[in-house]
Amino acid sequence: MPKIDFQSYETEGFFDETFENDKIVKPHYALFIDWLQKMGLKKLNMLQHSTDRVQLSMGMTFNVYSDNQGVERILHLDIIPRIISGQDWDLLERGLKQRIYAMNLFIDDIYNDQKILKDKIIPKELILSSSSYLKQCVGLKPPKGVWVHITGTDIIRGADGSYYVLEDNLRCPSGVSYMLENREILKRTFPEVFEKLNVRPVYNYSHYLRDMLESLSPVFPASIAVLTPGTYNSAYFEHAYLAQQMGAELVEGRDLVVQDDFVYKITTKGLKRIDVIYRRVDDDFIDPEVFRADSMLGTPGLFRAYLKGNVVLINAPGTGVADDKAVYAYVPDIIKYYLGEEMLLPNIETFLCDREKERDYVIDNISKLVIKQTDASGGYGMLIGPKSTKEEQAEFIQKIKKSPRNYIAQPTINLSRVPTLSDQGIEGRHVDLRPYVLYGSDINIIPGALTRVALKKGSLVVNSSQGGGSKDTWVVDNF
Amino acid sequence: MLSRVADAMYWMNRYMERAENYARFMDVSFNLSLELPPHVSEQWQPLVVTTGDWELYSEKHESINKENVIYFLGFDPKNPNSIYNCIVNARENARAIRPEITKELWAQINYLYYFVKNGLEKKIWVKKDPRIYFDEIKKGCQLFWGIVDATISRTEGWHFGRIGKMLERADKTSRILDVKYHILLPTAQDIGGSIDIIQWAALLKSVSAYDMYRKLYGKLTSVGIAKFLILDNEFPRSMLLCLEHTAISLRMISGNTNGYSNQAEKEVGMLTSQLVFADINDIISSGMHEYLDKFQIDLLKVAEAISDSFFSVEKNIAKA
């Protein structure tokens, strides 16, 4: 029986989450690795296989958008967990809180007084030209002044082992259901070692989420709904999952109707009021009367009811302006401006193609950089310089020259790696980290995250739409 | 309950019932084909007529044979009523109302889905004896019903589900009876002969009625069997009992205890009374086929009235 050893495991050139460069196991991984080696590869493969089956039977599937066939896939869950030490986690938590307080104040300011623009910290044109800036939200005062109730910040770890924020994701990010279900699955897969390590729990998430949603409505008990684009949406599993976990109604736009500026669901016994909507439909689509008129996913009048304070929308519309990748470059200034603090959790160095000097640098060094479209997400609209062809580079240079405002560039970061089960045994694969942050009366961060893993050897793209998988993330104190 | 959810609950159950019935029909037809004397050819056509899919079948296939029929009814992704599609549709409806059902139920539907998907890939229909496969589907459906009854609260959703199941079941029982009368009607010298008895027994088995019938009537007679399948008020697959359960569920939904409070209750009530006061000899003498045909049309009206009373968005918005 093939034993698990890490003789041929490579750690050179990357930051490895598990091993030092001389292959000494890091203390927070010691217990798990020790236990893994006792188990053997055959048993591990068996456990992996049964995990795949559990995911299928739970219908944890998604459709891939670009795929006309509408092929149903599972998000591969690699059973070797990503383990984070409690100290590291506490650091991340402080950094995230700071960042989200500041981003929330920023959004509130942008749609109200625009002090940060008047003080010329950020160029006014940059904000007003953002495709995610919604003029319909000007003057909006959401309940308790909170705009970003739910955030899923993308964090990576570079070659030096420091954590960096890669993206803020302030528009109802997805993936939290995988964090919760991955944990359920792993608890069954590795019960003994899980118990010994005293992993910090995540099961409270849906309770906290429900409490947060309820706390935003003046109505008690508030009637809560999760608004989904429908079963064909790639995150539908999550929408249904969260509705079920919270005991909320799962609705589509066509299930709702607005009368006298109140929102109602259409039931077999007539109309019933809805007070809080956790909407997983993008801003552009929530209300055809105000935003995209061709939207079939929203409900006419929804925004009107929202402005009147008759329904709460989570997240508030308009938060996308702070997700703009050009705004990202200003986050250190934003934190300093609103909180008077230095940024705790650093950004990645970012070049704004809108600035001539930086643009020239980007064009000259395109083969070394990652180019991103400022209003895109999900791994789309980007070029990874070192992995691209000359033709692709030329194409992006044209795009940048045509609309420089829409592009930024960042150095290519060699994401950290975690041991991952592959056909060749256990090998290092690159990962990122997406913790979930709730903001109601105050900020609440659940000690866990979705770790996304690039399953292809050497790949740096962790997005589920492009061959990424996931791992459970364990925050541990006892090791 | 959201009208869309009620609709999906109804259809999820209807499709599951359809899948189970088809699986049972296939199993019994296969059994029957084994028992027929050598000079009698296998009868696969009645099966396709029973399910009401004959028109589509004859468009797609020139000949009737075991392999074609099993593929068409069990697997054909282009036959909207094939077992494969019934399970797919039940699953899509379940997916749309995932928060309304339990984890166990959802897992069971997924199990069935991957089972039929696998069956399609493995080309079960070319196998010599696919009975184990259909038996597994039948059991899978029965487990589904068990989970429904053991884990779902008796709220509106459960009742809409039961209505879907009962209407589908009443329809299928009436159809299989019709086929025996309509197509398998034996020539004078065959009546009471061995083929006739085999066919009647097969008919009973295809609706899981053989044991219960034997217990009640003992002897296999056409009149007894027709009475049992149409008018028995204790057998769970008789047309009458299916309607009575539908009526009870409709009243549980509306809370009404007297007369009718909506078109659906009215249609079901009228059809149920017709069966309650029917005499099997009258039915036979006035023509079994005509009677069953009319029953199926009335059943359609019931389904339309239910859809109109509960699933229609416009109607529900207008409700006070």
HEC states along B291-320? HHHHHHHHHHHHHHHHHHHHHCHHHHHHCC
Strands A276-279, A312-314: pairing kind: parallel
> Which strand (E) or helix (H) includes residue B66?
helix B66-70
Instruction: Indicate yes or no: CB of A268 within 8 angstroms of CB of B106.
Output: no
Instruction: Indicate yes or no: CB of B317 within 8 angstroms of CB of A266.
Output: yes
Selection from A202, A234, A226 nearest residue A75 by Cα? A234
Instruction: Indicate yes or no: CB of B95 within 8 angstroms of CB of A236.
Output: yes
Give me the residues paired with residue A427 across strands.
A420
Instruction: State the pLDDT confidence band at B47, using cuts at 50, 70 and 90.
Output: confident
User: What gap in Å lies between CA A426 and CA A80, rounded to an integer?
Assistant: 9
Strands A425-430, A417-422: pairing kind: antiparallel
Instruction: Set out the domains of chain A in order of their start, with CATH numbers.
Output: 204-314 (3.40.50.11290), 351-411 (3.30.1490.270)
Per the rule left: phi > 0, alpha: psi between -120 and 50, beta: everything else, A300 is: beta
User: What gap in Å lies between CA B165 and CA B152, rounded to an integer?
Assistant: 15
**CA B164, B165, B168 angle in degrees (round to 5)?**
85
pLDDT of residue A415: 94
Interchain CB contact of B117 with A (< 8 Å): no
Angle, nearest 10°, between helix axes B194-206 and B222-231?
A: 10
This complex has an ipTM of: 0.89
The average pLDDT across B239-244 equals 98
Instruction: Indicate yes or no: CB of B92 within 8 angstroms of CB of A231.
Output: yes
Radius of gyration of chain A (CA): 23
Identify the residue whose tokens are 């549980």.
Answer: B252
pLDDT of residue B193: 66
Interchain CB contact of B317 with A (< 8 Å): yes
Interchain CB contact of A268 with B (< 8 Å): yes
Q: Render pLDDT for A208-234 as a digit per residue (tens, 0 to 9).
A: 999 999 999 999 999 999 999 999 898
Taking residue B296's Cβ as centre, other Cβ atoms within 10 Å add up to 15
Domain ranges of chain B: 1-152, 158-314
Question: Taking 80 as the threshold, does the pLDDT of residue B191 lie above it?
Answer: no
Q: Up-side HSE of residue A227: CA atoms within 13 Å toward CB?
A: 33
Interchain CB contact of A58 with B (< 8 Å): yes
Closest partner residue to B2 among A230, A244, A265, by Cβ?
A265
Dihedral sign (CA B31, B33, B36, B38): negative
Cα-based distances in Å from A44 to A1, A18, A40, A418, A471 = 12, 18, 6, 16, 15
Chain B nearest CA to A75, separation (Å): 16
User: What gap in Å lies between CA A192 and CA A34, rounded to an integer?
Assistant: 13
Closest partner residue to A231 among B2, B96, B310, by Cβ?
B96
Using DSSP's 3-state secondary structure scheme, residue B250 falls into: helix
Question: Residues of A with CB below 8 A from B1's CB?
Answer: 267-269
pLDDT of residue A104: 98
Q: Among residues 156-185 of chain A, which lie with CB inside 8 Å of chain B?
A: none
Closest partner residue to B99 among A57, A58, A250, by Cβ?
A250
User: What gap in Å lies between CA B98 and CA A239, rounded to an integer?
Assistant: 10
pLDDT of residue B189: 56
Name the average pLDDT for chain B.
91
Across B286-295, b (16+ Cβ under 10 Å) vs e yields: eebeebbeeb
Interchain CB contact of A267 with B (< 8 Å): yes
User: pTM higher than 0.90, yes or no?
Assistant: yes
Please check whether residue B175 is in contact with residue B296, taking contact to mean a CB–CB distance below 8 angstroms. yes
- The separation between the first and the last C-alpha atoms of chain A, rounded to the nearest angstrom, is 29
Chain B nearest CA to A263, separation (Å): 12
Instruction: Indicate yes or no: CB of B98 within 8 angstroms of CB of A248.
Output: no
A337 is written with which tokens? 């401006």
User: What gap in Å lies between CA A256 and CA A253, rounded to an integer?
Assistant: 6
- Walk along chain A (479 residues) and give the pLDDT tens digit of each residue: 567 888 889 888 889 999 998 889 999 999 999 999 998 899 999 999 999 999 988 888 877 655 455 578 889 999 999 999 999 999 999 999 999 999 999 999 999 999 999 999 999 999 999 989 999 999 999 999 999 999 999 999 998 999 999 999 999 899 999 999 999 999 999 999 999 999 999 999 999 999 999 999 999 999 999 999 999 898 999 999 999 999 999 999 999 999 999 999 999 999 999 999 999 999 999 999 999 999 999 999 999 999 999 999 999 999 999 999 999 999 999 999 999 999 999 999 999 999 999 999 999 999 999 999 988 776 778 898 988 999 999 999 999 999 999 999 999 888 999 999 999 899 999 999 999 999 999 999 999 999 999 999 988 888 887 789 999 999 999 77
**CA B50, B137, B91 angle in degrees (round to 5)?**
90
User: What gap in Å lies between CA B9 and CA B145, rounded to an integer?
Assistant: 13
Instruction: Indicate yes or no: CB of A268 within 8 angstroms of CB of B310.
Output: yes
pLDDT of residue B127: 87
Q: Up-side HSE of residue A429: CA atoms within 13 Å toward CB?
A: 29
Question: Residues of B with CB below 8 A from A236's CB?
Answer: 95
**What's the gap between Cα B240 and its chain centre?**
14
